[in-house]
Amino acid sequence: MSLPELLAEAASRARCDGVLLSGGLDSATVAWALRRVDLRPVGFNTQYAPAPGADLPHLLEAARALRLRVVVSWVGEEEAVKAAEDVVGILKVFNPMEVVNCAAAYVSIKAAAEMGVRRVCTGDGGDELFAGYEYMSRMGPRELDEYIRRLAGGGWYFCAFDVGRALGVEVQAPYLDPEVVRYALSIPAEERVRDGVGKYIVRRQFQGLLPDSIVWRRKDPIEVGSGFSALYDVLARRAEGYAADIPVQGAAKYLYKAFRERGLTYERGGEPQCPVCGYGLRDGYCRMCGHYARA
């Protein structure tokens, strides 16, 4: 079976009436799969109004191609900061990268909940399974294959599921369907990355099913696509004058303040230990504060 066919079967099982639509390859292929099984989900996207991101023209093109209604939530600084604070309370971390990226998804899922959408599909898992991240394209074939297998064995985390539970919306990710994962793990690394282009097999199989500008669109993180990357500086400015009891800086400092104000705590310790917050590191990365210790 081809990947489009497997995604369509997964979409049929997911039965989503909403989809987080960025106009990127993963979300567009999921939206395509939902349409393939005669579902017409509402597309949801979030944009930071003071400095919109890269998604808008691509998601509109995807919506036109798939004949989908799209709801774009335009948020200002105060609403974006409030979303980040709410995400801190849901995820119980003060890691800027995780919180800022998730804040954009939070706004979209909240909009879906307010519209009465019961189940939202996401493109989560596509990048991890098919080498969508730039750093993965630099790995050798064997290293890449082993890395993806580790991820699929439980080394990944997708915040949309926790956000959905907090907001009363069921989140589904067709790329994480067992049949799709099984297919992905059977693909040689050379089919995932070719000539430095990640997700090559996904792009090749969806050529002709979606507009080329979407099929061959580069990977933009959600913070870039939504414009929420501007929040790093916004949060850092708001942290000025706050005396934290750990050596956290910038946006993490403000999010730590929000973390403490919600009465949240975390266990310090473990080996190795994060030099910033004391949380346990995993492969040099601290999920709690976002510190990364390069080898």
DSSP string, the chain: --HHHHHHHHHHHH--SEEE--SSHHHHHHHHHHHHTT--PEEEEEEETTS--S-HHHHHHHHHHHT--EEEEEE-HHHHHHHHHHHHHHH----HHHHHHHHHHHHHHHHHHHTT--EEE--TTHHHHHT-SHHHHTS-HHHHHHHHHHIIIII---HHHHHHHHHT-EEE-GGGSHHHHHHHHTS-HHHH-BTTBTTHHHHHHHBTTB-HHHHTPPP--HHHHHSGGGHHHHHHHHTTT---SS---HHHHHHHHHHHHTT-------SSB-TTT-PBPBTTB-TTT--B---
Mean pLDDT of the chain: 96
pLDDT of residue 267: 92
pLDDT at 206 over 90: yes
Query: Is the predicted pLDDT of residue 270 greater than 80, yes or no?
Result: no
pLDDT mean over 228-251? 97
**Residues 43-65, mean pLDDT to the nearest whole number:** 97
271 pLDDT higher than 90: no
Cα Rg of the chain (Å, integer): 19
The second-level CATH assignment, the architecture, of 3-229 is 3-Layer(aba) Sandwich (3.40)
Buried b or exposed e, range 83-108, using 16+ CB within 10 angstroms: bbbbbbebbebbbbbbbbbbbbbbbb
d(CA 189, CA 139) in angstroms, rounded, equals 10
Check residue 5 and give its pLDDT. Answer: 98
Instruction: Give yes or no for residue 12 having a pLDDT over 90.
Output: yes
Can you give the pLDDT at residue 295?
56
Q: Where in the chain is the domain with CATH 3.40.50.620?
A: 3-229
Q: Tell me: pLDDT of 290 over 90.
A: yes
The pLDDT score that the predictor gives to residue 280 is 93
pLDDT digits (tens, 9 = 90+) for 160-184: 999 999 999 999 999 999 999 999 9
Task: Label residue 8 by pLDDT band (50, 70, 90).
Answer: very high
- Please name which of 56, 32, 25 lies closest in space to residue 226, comparing C-alpha atoms: 56
Give the model confidence (pLDDT) of 77-128 as tens digits: 999 999 999 999 999 999 999 999 999 999 999 999 999 999 999 999 999 9
State how far the Cα of 269 lies from the Cα of 113, in Å rounded to an integer.
38
Instruction: Give me the pLDDT at residue 165, please.
Output: 98
At 244 the pLDDT is: 96
**293 confidence band (pLDDT: 50, 70, 90):** confident
Q: Taking residues 244-248, report their average pLDDT.
A: 96
Does the structure show a pLDDT above 80 at 294? no
